[in-house]
Structure 1
Amino acid sequence: MEFRFKNSECNGGELVKIFNKDFETTSLSEEEYSDCRAGINCTIKETHVNNAFVFFQDYNNEKSSEGHTLQVIQNHPVFLLQFVIDGEVTFTSSGTVNKDFSLNKNTYNLFYIPASKYSYKYHNHQKRVLNLYFTESFLADKMDFGFIKDLKKYEQAKKKNQFYAFFNKGLVLNRQLKSILNEFLNCSFNGRTKQSYLESKLTELVLIALTSKDSEITANKLRKEEREALIKIENYIQTHLKEELSIEKLSVLAGFNTSKFKSLFKEVYGMPVFRYITSLRIEKAIRLISNHDYTITQASYEVGYKNPQHFTVAFKKKLGYLPSELINKGLYALLWLCG
């Protein structure tokens, strides 16, 4: 299989990638580079593990709000699971039937792409997008095709060599998927351990992403401004964990009444607002204790608990053991590897 990437913001011209059938490989291959025009901060990471190829793009054009285009030519049909972490992407096919698919920040979709030429148009000055490529045999090995709403339409598209989007307007990129993406992109292992870890994370990512039925229903129901308001609030929560976060305050910031805010938040993120906040606080506290040598008291204050005892109670209720055991028994790695 051959892929040709041509990026309008890079200096290196066309990038050609050659793969064995079904992306088969016995070893882990990684490459990271930054070769963009002046004024553009960019990082491109490529990861090739057995049966999958990941192409991650992180761009920030400080001098212009205009977007750019990535053109791709491939000579073999593949699946693309695309996650838009930041920015907005329009996916345009060029063939017998021209069709555009757009994804906004914090959304994702699964595409079937025949052997063809197509392009990604990035509309914002800042964008973070992860493209995961694999073939049908990868899906068949990991799961059945029960997630496909209309198998007949997919089979017709495949027969006619046409693009096909499995989810009409894309799905919501929830906290669980963001966590998996972050763990994949920031893996600290080496050698064979790293290869096994990345392969397992990609499997987890595909399974969770394609079985999130509730996210599809919610994404299709939400208006663009509602989705953007929830994304704004999620970002606010993550950056203000040390502060007091009330339903009333967050509802006002979102522009909803409290009832609508609580309902939409639970539908999109799969849990009530306060449970979500508690989860984020505990996760951050774990990182502070395990990676930065914070005491339990210091960490509890840093994530918004005025009384360390209240933090200990919440921690024990959620995880089933005391925060002191992170230090005494080295449970941090176990917690994160098991999700």
Structure 2
Amino acid sequence: MKSILKSDQFREKVRVKYHKDGFDKPTFEDTEIVYSEDHYHTKLRGVSFNGLKMTMREDSFEIPLKMEVEHDFHFLKLHFEMEGSSLYIPKNSGSTMVDIPGGHYNFFFLPKVKGELHYKPKYRRTLEIIFSENYINNYFQPILNKQFKEFARKMKDREPVLLFEKSRIIPNHMKDIIEQIIRCDFPNELKEVYFISKINELISNFLYEAAHSVESEVPNEIINAKEILKKEYDNPPTILLLSRRIGINQSKLKKDFKYHFNKTIYAFITETRMQIALLLIKRNQSSIAEISHHVGYKNPQHFTVAFKKYFGYLPSEQKRRNLLDSSS
């Protein structure tokens, strides 16, 4: 099993990490790694035992960080974004985007990971737990089958799935457990017992919160609104016209859309346009002006400004990267 990370901001450009014996080794391991680059610094502490790997990380960077990521194994993860933000944009069709703002968390399964990670400056602090499928089967498969049937079915059928359509705010009592884990400075002879007990406590609280959530399902009208915007991103209807098409008033539409998808309608349109624009630029078959028009910008300069604001670099820089990649 291995993970590949690529970024122009890495000194060595490509990092390959091997996961010897997967995550199912019974021995307890606690390791720490520090990376320092010109504009990027990270400190990783990894704890693994009995089918799971927990990573505590602190990142600081002066400019937005973008990296390509690829794993050659099924990816099942519980991710707490304490500070900062994390956005995964898949390159493979049929996958799903994972957006976790600061102070939020999510649980997701990706049968294939090949895409881009985007981090905004200046500071990130996270706790992430990757599970082996053996761990899930041995410890909480019955709960998944009973409480989260759709998640369990999709995971079994090797389909990408997020437990929450939009990432949830981390409850205070779970934050307390996470902080206790991160700050642990117990001596070696006690560390293993402490970590195992705290991780199990965190997972138990997560499952309880998820199973007893009182949040309602996303209303059909809001789902319809999202689908309309995804199809008509190049010329989206006004909020007034969209509200009439789905049959609810403007105020409720704006409020419910942001509540369920954790972003405004305008932000969703921008996000959709930028993702499609990036894909078109990488295909390298159209000019910036053509791509600008395709995603709904009449003025290419306005598109360039929006692209740089979203990704942190100009579309022309991505064009140059394409040329470098094709010549290497």
The interval holding the TM-score normalised by the smaller chain is: 0.5 to 0.7
For residues 179-213 of structure 1, give each alpha carbon's deviation from its aligned partner in whole angstroms, at most 9, with x where no partner exists.
Answer: 11111112111324211211222111112112214
In the other structure, the counterpart of 2:43 is 43
Shift of 1:48: 2.1
AA matched with 1:72: V
Q: Which amino acid aligns with 1:49?
A: F
CA distance in 2, matches of 1:189, 1:145: 33
Aligned ranges for residues 267-306 of structure 1 at < 5 Å?
none
1:167 maps to 2:168: no
Partner of 1:23: 24
**Aligned equivalents of 2:35, 2:84: Cα separation in 1:** 19
Q: What SS does the corresponding residue of 2:143 show, helix, strand or coil?
A: coil
The superposition leaves residues 46-97 of structure 1 with CA deviations (integer Å, 9 ceiling, x where unpaired) of 2222311123332222x43xx2124332222131111111112112223231
Q: Identify the residue that residue 295 of structure 1 maps to in structure 2.
A: none
Q: Give the TM-score, by structure 1 length.
A: 0.57
Which of 83, 88, 101 lines up with 1:86 in the alignment? 83
Rounded Cα–Cα distance in structure 2 between residues aligned with 1:158 and 1:8: 36
Q: Partner residue of 1:155?
A: 153
Q: Is the 8 A contact 2:144 2:151 kept in 1?
A: no
> What residue number does 1:103 align with?
100
* Residue pair 2:151, 2:162 contacting (<8 A) in 1 also: no
Shift in alpha-carbon separation, 1:70–1:23, aligned structure 2, 3 A = farther
Partner of 2:136: 139
Taking the aligned partners of 2:132 and 2:189, their CA distance within structure 1 comes to 23
The list of structure 1 runs, each at least 4 consecutive aligned residues, that deviate by more than 4 angstroms after superposition, is 147-150, 218-224
2:182 alignment counterpart = 185
- Give yes or no for the alignment of 1:194 onto 2:191: yes
Alignment length (residue pairs): 222
Equivalent position SS for 1:139: helix
Distance 1:8 1:105, change over 3 A: farther
Partner residue, 1:217: 215
- Does residue 52 of structure 1 match 2:75? no
One-letter code of the match for 2:16? L
Contact 2:151-2:163 at 8 Å conserved across structures: no
Q: Give the TM-score normalised by structure 2.
A: 0.58
Change (3 A) 1:75 1:165: same
Q: Is the 8 A contact 1:22 1:137 kept in 2?
A: no
- How far apart, in 2, do the equivalents of 1:218 and 1:181 lie? 27
Task: Give the gaps of 5 or more residues in structure 2.
Answer: 219-255, 264-328
Classify 1:58/1:144 alpha carbon distance in 2 versus 1 (closer, same or farther; 3 Å).
Answer: same
Give the secondary-structure state (helix, strand or coil) at the position aligned to 2:192: helix
Q: How many angstroms does 1:9 deviate by?
A: 4.1
Identity %: 15
Q: Aligned residue for 2:2?
A: 2
CA shift digits 1:251-286 (9 cap, x unpaired): xxxxxxxxxxxxxxxxxxxxxxxxxxxxxxxxxxxx
Written as runs of structure 1 = structure 2, the 5 A alignment for 1:315-326 is none
Change (3 A) 1:195 1:6: farther
* 8 Å contact kept, 2:154–2:161: no
CA drift at 1:139: 2.5
Alpha-carbon distance between aligned partners in 2 of 1:109 and 1:79, rounded to the nearest angstrom: 11
**What amino acid sits opposite 2:35 in the alignment?**
S
Change (3 A) 1:207 1:193: same
- Counterpart CA distance in 2 for 1:192 and 1:115 is 38
2:33 aligned with 1:32: yes
**2:34–2:41: 8 Å Cα contact kept in structure 1?**
no
Aligned CA RMSD, in angstroms, stands at 3.1
- 8 Å Cα contact 2:83-2:103 kept in structure 1: yes
SS of residue paired to 2:26: coil
Corresponding residue number in structure 2 for 1:303: none
1:203 to 200, 205, 208: 200
